[in-house]
Structure 1
Amino acid sequence: MQPRPGTLLVASAVLADPNFAETVVLLIDADADGALGVVLNRPTPILVADVLEPWRDAVEPPEVLFRGGPVAVDGALALGRLLVPDDEPVGFKRAFGIVGLVDLDAPVEMVEGGLDAMRVFAGYAGWGPGQLEAEIAEGSWYVVPSEPGDLFREDTDTLRRDVLRRQPGDLAWAATRPADPLMN
């Protein structure tokens, strides 16, 4: 599968970068200029209400910031899912399907009524031209389809394992593969 907006990158056991070990990344953008995504399974203990108070009631449980990746962690980006597929509120920019970026500078009242769900991420994951494709070719990432519940799942502890288990063929076995199979 090719990396494209809406697909998941699941870290393989050989991925050594601690920023991405055991992660599931949702791609928001991917083209010849590079790729951008957010880590779905790294909740922080920081409440959205503590840093973006107006958005406190708009986010899905758990109502915390998620560490979206190692780039620009002092900034935030939000993803939302449309309530009505053809009715985009002010401050919403579609990324794929009914999911898009939410402008956190827009008035909350203008946005939240048009969203079914929303999550806020501190930082993001980014790759330059050809970088992600090289990491996939070396076996660092599995590229798999996402499912509607992946982005707004409340309990993300088993997300990586669950995503891998639902894959066809041998890839499902990767869900239980240790980092060093010789130590098993």
Structure 2
Amino acid sequence: MKENVCQVCERTGELLLCEGQCCGAFHLQCIGLSEAPRGKFICCECTKGVHTCFVCKKSGDGVKRCMVPVCGKFYHNECILKHTPTQPQNKGVRCSLHVCLSCHITNPLNPCTSKSRLTRCVRCPVAYHANDYCMAAGSIVLANNSFLCPNHFTPRKNYKNHEHINVSWCFVCSEGW
């Protein structure tokens, strides 16, 4: 079961789903509404047709949507091509949110040997299989399909994701050195 995270506050709960191109989820209060609109809900970005790049967070000309129908993320071409597992396709790209970064690093020619579900960072185009073998140490799980990866040094309230711990063993394989 997919559990969505609000695009504004990065928390779960009762969310309103945008039926536009972004496939976004929002708490009513996070987008300034007191009650759900009747009929189809389309967020401001989709209504205006001006989307924000998921990498650089700038909107305007030149952003294109990921080719995967249920993705909903938009990118400048030069921004998304910096992320390793991105695959150019015809006149667009399949963004890196659809390939496990750990598996890609281990085997770039055949990255996804596992069919287990992916979990995605809510702030950047990084994805991992939702298990302890692939997920990067220091990641904070927000929902069953969303996390905050250790690349973000701005911890949210109640999270301490960048406290340093000195240990003599590996968090991934549990072997000492």
TM-score normalised according to structure 1 size: 0.27
Relative contact order, higher structure (CA 8 A, sep 6+)? 1
TM-score normalised according to structure 2 size: 0.27
Structure label with greater radius of gyration: 2
Give 1 or 2: higher strand fraction: 1
Give 1 or 2: higher helix fraction: 1
